Copies of this chain bind each other. A is one copy, B any other.
Amino acid sequence: MGVAERKERHKEDLKKDILTAAKQLFTEKGFEATSIRAIAEKIEYSPATIYLYYKDKNEIVHALHQDGFNLLMQHFSKIDFSQPAFARLIALGRAYMQFAFEHPDVYALIFSMKEPMQHVAECEKEWHEGDRAFSMLYKTVEACKEEGYFKHMESVGLSFIIWSTMHGLCTLHKTGHLEHMALSCAEVTTLNMDVNALLDHNFETFVNLLEKLKN
């Protein structure tokens, strides 16, 4: 039946429309400030209609969570993979930071919210997107070892530490903690840097630190 198919397609379309509207509003106004009513208004349907396509707001968040990870992987795919492993690792870090600041709400959604992760845990179904992203980091770390880096260091733990450092740096920047320190903290103001310079400086310090772990 072609008719049933067309209807099914139409339903799928509306599901996607809700998602794109939600995504747009999330990145415009932020996650907390986006209401179901606002999403409904954007797609010109009633708020109740949203609930015919998504169980609740968390399910919408979860759908965007998936999208967000695909976007992150897309950012990673721009990296030149013919580089040596260590240069690749640094490029990965830079791409991560770039992603965090180009898509702050998407970043917050996939890395700073607990709700979508709870959804993943409850769903019990695998979460390839997240695993693939970590796997990418892990394999790069392993490859670095063949270049003489990180000898006698456990790769999973080190991968987590690198991820944590990047995540910490990005989040402390976005909450304004870095900015405060750059402006007010006596120990930091001696460097005479603005927030972005401080962020770059910190990243460079991290690169410098990792470089010392060769041989």
Contact = CB atoms under 8 A, between A and B. Distances in A.
B175 A164 contact: no
B121 A161 contact: no
How many copies the complex holds: the figure is 2
Given A134-B181, A178-B160, A154 B114 contact: no
A191 B156 contact: yes
Given A114-B175, A160-B198, A167-B171, 16 more contacts: A117-B175, A117-B176, A117-B177, A130-B185, A131-B184, A134-B188, A157-B205, A157-B206, A160-B169, A161-B165, A163-B168, A164-B172, A165-B165, A165-B168, A167-B168, A168-B171
Interface of A: 111-114, 117-118, 120-121, 126-127, 130-131, 134-135, 138, 153-154, 156-161, 163-169, 171-172, 174-181, 184-188, 190-191, 198, 201-202, 204-206, 208-209, 212-213
